[in-house]
């Protein structure tokens, strides 16, 4: 009887602890979202999108940073999609079972979770130093390298899910591997691959560390990617660290924008993936 009681008690204590831990965790995360909303919403107005980053204690917005982020992420995603889709396709359709394929898959997994600041150092050494200065291109390359492993991984996973009957059907019609992959496999896996791209985009749009010494920052609106380039994270970091209240407000507003963008893209990606499952 004693033993049964003890077991019952241990079990109930465990349930309480688990529930409590879940509440603590969710509470902490809710607290962060709450701070972000209350501090960020105050800074969101029309000027945020129409004015450039200001001098201390004067009004301004984040237009140059928003445009800079969009441009750099856009170029980065072009790099990531081209390399990632091809590499993922190679792993799934051509050489994934060779020893070399295993090495590539393993290293891709390592790159997937490598510290982003190291990617920044890599691009600094191989792009910024040879090109003679910080530039938007360097920032875009750094972000592209961060997104590529994600695209590679999801592409390989999605292609592996496609039934072999599709490949056999293509071959039976006499189509080459290229035509089979392009017209059948990629088409069938389209939604999933798009999700992979969106996940990669969500990951890089908030990345700050690798931009610090690749794109640096730019106070003015610029479309010249061979010069130092503005970005939202690149503007938020110094603004948040500064003692000026106007800058702090802008930093919170920027953080809110990034978070909403990341959440939005993530939700869109999930929605696309779910749509595919239900067909």
Smaller CB distance to other proteins: residue 208 or 219?
A: 208
Q: In angstroms, give the least distance from the CB of 278 to other proteins.
A: 15
Q: In angstroms, give the least distance from the CB of 61 to other proteins.
A: 18
Output b/e per residue, 224-239; b: 16+ Cβ within 10 A.
Answer: ebebbbbbbbbbbbeb
Q: In angstroms, give the least distance from the CB of 53 to other proteins.
A: 16
CA dist 65 and 53 (Å) reads 8
CA 278 to chain centre: 26
- Residue 33 has a CB neighbour count (10 Å cut-off) of 12
Q: Cα angle vertex 199, ends 34, 109, to 5°?
A: 115
Are the CB atoms for 263 and 278 separated by under 8 Å?
Answer: no
Smaller CB distance to other proteins: residue 122 or 244?
A: 122
Smaller CB distance to other proteins: residue 9 or 223?
A: 9
Q: In angstroms, give the least distance from the CB of 104 to other proteins.
A: 5
Smaller CB distance to other proteins: residue 50 or 245?
A: 245
Are the CB atoms for 51 and 63 separated by under 8 Å?
Answer: yes
């Amino acid at each position: 009887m004693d033993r049964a009681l003890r077991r019952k008690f241990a079990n109930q204590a465990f349930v309480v602890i688990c529930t409590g831990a879940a509440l603590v965790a969710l509470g902490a995360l809710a607290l962060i979202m709450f701070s972000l909303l209350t501090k960020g919403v105050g800074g969101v107005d029309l000027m945020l999108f129409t004015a450039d980053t200001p001098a201390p204690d004067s009004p301004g917005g984040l237009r140059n940073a928003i445009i800079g982020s969009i441009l750099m992420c856009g170029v980065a995603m072009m790099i990531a999609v081209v390399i990632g889709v091809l590499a993922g396709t190679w792993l799934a359709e051509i050489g994934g079972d060779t020893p070399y394929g295993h090495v590539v898959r393993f290293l891709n997994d390592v790159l997937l979770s490598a510290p982003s600041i190291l990617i920044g150092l890599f691009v600094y050494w191989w792009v910024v130093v040879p090109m003679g200065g910080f530039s938007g291109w360097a920032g875009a390359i750094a972000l592209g390298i961060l997104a590529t492993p994600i695209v590679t991984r999801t592409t390989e996973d999605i292609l592996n899910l496609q039934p072999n009957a599709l490949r056999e059907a293509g071959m039976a019609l006499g189509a080459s591997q290229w035509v089979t992959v392009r017209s059948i496999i990629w088409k069938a896996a389209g939604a999933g691959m798009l999700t992979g791209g969106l996940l990669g985009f969500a990951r890089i749009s908030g990345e700050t560390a690798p931009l610090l010494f690749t794109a640096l920052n730019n106070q003015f609106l610029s479309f010249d990617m061979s010069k130092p380039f503005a970005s939202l994270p690149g503007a938020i970091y110094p603004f948040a660290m500064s003692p000026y209240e106007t800058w702090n407000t802008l930093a919170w507003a920027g953080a809110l924008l990034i978070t909403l963008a990341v959440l939005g893209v993530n939700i869109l990606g999930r929605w696309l993936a779910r749509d595919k499952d239900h067909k």
